Structure 1
Amino acid sequence: MKRKIIPVALTLTMLVPTTMACTKSDSEDDKSERVLRVATSMDYGDEGEYFRQQFTEIFEFANPNIKIEYIPTSDNRMRMGIGLKEGEKMQDPFVKLKEIMAGENPPDVVMFNLTEMRELVEENLLEPLDARISKEKFDTSDIVPAVMDGLKSASTDGKLYALSPTFSSSALIYNRKMFDQAGVPYPTDNMTWDQVFDLARRVSTGEGDKRVYGFNFFSQGYADFMSASQIYAGPLGLQTFDEKGEKLLVDSDQWEKVWATLIQLEKDKVIPGQPDYNNPESMKLRQPSEDNPFAYHDFLSGRLAMSIMQYGELSQIDNANKNAANYKNFTPVEYNAVTMPSHPEQPGVVANIGLNGVMGINAKAGNAADAWKFLKFINGEDWARAKGKNNYQMVSRKKYIKPKEGSDLHMEAFLNVKPLLDNPNEMYKIYREKPYIFQVYDLGRTEYMDAVKGNKSIREALKSWQTKGDVMLQQMKDNPNMNGGNVMAVPAAG
Structure 2
Amino acid sequence: MRARHGKLRKIITVSLAATLTLGLLAGCTGGKAKETEQEKVLRIGVLYGGYDDSYFRQQYTDIYEFTHQNVRIEIVPAIDQSQYRYDDGTQQTKQPDYLASMKKIMTGSNPVDVVVTDTSVLNQLIQENMVKQLDPMIQEDKFDTADFVPSVIDGIKDLGDGNLYALTPSFTSSALYFNKKMFTDAGVEPPKDKMTWDDIFNLARRLAKGEGKDRVYGFSFNRYQGSDPFYDMQSSYVNALQLKTFDDKAEKMTVNSPQWTKVWETMSKLAKDKVIPDSNSGMNDMNNGENWTPINGDMFLSGKVAMTIGESSYVNEISDANNNAAKIKNFKSIDWDVVSVPVHPEKPDIGGNIWLNNTFAINSSAPNPETAWDFIKFINSEDWAKLKSRSNSYEMVSRKTYIKPKEGLDYNIQAFYLLKPSAPTNPKEEKLMQDKPGLYGVTNIGHNYFKEVLDNKKTPAEALKEWEDKGNKMLLEIKNNPKTQFQDDGTPFIPTNNGGKG
Question: TM-score, length-normalised on structure 1?
Answer: 0.89
Q: 1:84 to 1:74 in 2, by over 3 A?
A: farther
Q: Determine the structure 2 residue equivalent to 1:51.
A: 56
Q: Which one-letter code corresponds to 1:298 in the other structure?
A: M
Q: CA shift at 1:242, angstroms?
A: 1.4
Structure 2 residue 410 is matched with structure 1 residue 408:
yes
Q: Determine the structure 1 residue equivalent to 2:454.
A: 452
Q: CA shift at 1:245, angstroms?
A: 3.1
Q: 1:162 to 1:48 in 2, by over 3 A?
A: same
Structure 2 residue 66 is matched with structure 1 residue 65:
no
Q: Which one-letter code corresponds to 2:43 in the other structure?
A: R
**Which residue of 219, 222, 242 maps to 1:218?**
222
Q: Which one-letter code corresponds to 1:348 in the other structure?
A: D
Show structure 1 runs of 5+ residues with no match: 277-281
Q: CA shift at 1:91, angstroms?
A: 4.8
Instruction: State how far apart, in whole Å, the 2-side matches of 1:323 and 1:283 are.
Output: 24
**Which residue of 119, 126, 132 maps to 1:127?**
132
Q: Is the 8 A contact 1:238 1:424 kept in 2?
A: no
Instruction: State how far apart, in whole Å, the 1-side matches of 2:204 and 2:11 are.
Output: 37
Deviates more, 1:297-306 or 1:340-349: 340-349
Q: Determine the structure 2 residue equivalent to 1:92.
A: 97
Match of 2:85, SS state, is coil
Match of 1:215, SS state, is strand
Q: 1:426 to 1:393 in 2, by over 3 A?
A: farther
Structure 2 residue 401 is matched with structure 1 residue 396:
no
Structure 2 residue 284 is matched with structure 1 residue 284:
yes
Q: Is the 8 A contact 1:324 1:332 kept in 2?
A: yes
Q: CA shift at 1:325, angstroms?
A: 1.6
Q: Is the 8 A contact 2:337 2:411 kept in 1?
A: yes
Instruction: State how far apart, in whole Å, the 1-side matches of 2:486 and 2:80 are.
Output: 18
Instruction: State how far apart, in whole Å, the 1-side matches of 2:366 and 2:68 are.
Output: 19
Deviation track 1:246-278 (CA, whole Å, cap 9, x = no partner) reads: 4321111110100000000111111012338xx
Q: Determine the structure 1 residue equivalent to 2:497.
A: none
Residues 217-366 of structure 1 mapped to structure 2, 5 A cutoff: 217-221=221-225, 222-275=227-280, 283-287=283-287, 289=289, 291-293=291-293, 294-366=295-367
Q: CA shift at 1:78, angstroms?
A: 6.8
Q: 1:235 to 1:169 in 2, by over 3 A?
A: same
Q: CA shift at 1:300, angstroms?
A: 0.6
Structure 2 residue 199 is matched with structure 1 residue 195:
yes
Instruction: State how far apart, in whole Å, the 1-side matches of 2:398 and 2:422 are.
Output: 17
Q: Determine the structure 2 residue equivalent to 1:434.
A: 436
Q: CA shift at 1:283, angstroms?
A: 2.2
Q: Is the 8 A contact 1:239 1:426 kept in 2?
A: no
Deviates more, 1:373-382 or 1:455-464: 455-464
Q: CA shift at 1:400, angstroms?
A: 0.8
Instruction: State how far apart, in whole Å, the 2-side matches of 1:246 and 1:437 are.
Output: 10
Instruction: State how far apart, in whole Å, the 2-side matches of 1:187 and 1:396 are.
Output: 26
Q: CA shift at 1:422, angstroms?
A: 6.8
Match of 2:43, SS state, is strand
Q: Which one-letter code corresponds to 1:218 in the other structure?
A: N
Q: Identity over the aligned pairs, expressed in percent?
A: 41
Instruction: State how far apart, in whole Å, the 1-side matches of 2:71 and 2:114 are.
Output: 13
Q: CA shift at 1:468, angstroms?
A: 2.3
Q: Is the 8 A contact 1:288 1:296 kept in 2?
A: no
Question: TM-score, length-normalised on structure 2?
Answer: 0.88
Q: CA shift at 1:24, angstroms?
A: 5.7
Instruction: State how far apart, in whole Å, the 1-side matches of 2:383 and 2:24 are.
Output: 9
Match of 1:31, SS state, is coil
Structure 2 residue 43 is matched with structure 1 residue 37:
yes
Q: CA shift at 1:445, angstroms?
A: 0.9
Q: CA shift at 1:23, angstroms?
A: 4.7
Instruction: State how far apart, in whole Å, the 1-side matches of 2:427 and 2:270 are.
Output: 24
Show structure 2 runs of 5+ residues with no match: 1-9, 494-502
Q: CA shift at 1:188, angstroms?
A: 1.2
Q: 1:30 to 1:143 in 2, by over 3 A?
A: farther
Q: Determine the structure 1 residue equivalent to 2:388.
A: 387
Q: Which one-letter code corresponds to 2:394 in the other structure?
A: Y
Instruction: State how far apart, in whole Å, the 2-side matches of 1:429 and 1:39 are.
Output: 20
Deviation track 1:152-183 (CA, whole Å, cap 9, x = no partner) reads: 11113x32100011111111110011111111
Instruction: State how far apart, in whole Å, the 2-side matches of 1:303 and 1:340 are.
Output: 20
Q: Which one-letter code corresponds to 2:473 in the other structure?
A: V
Q: Which one-letter code corresponds to 1:205 in the other structure?
A: K
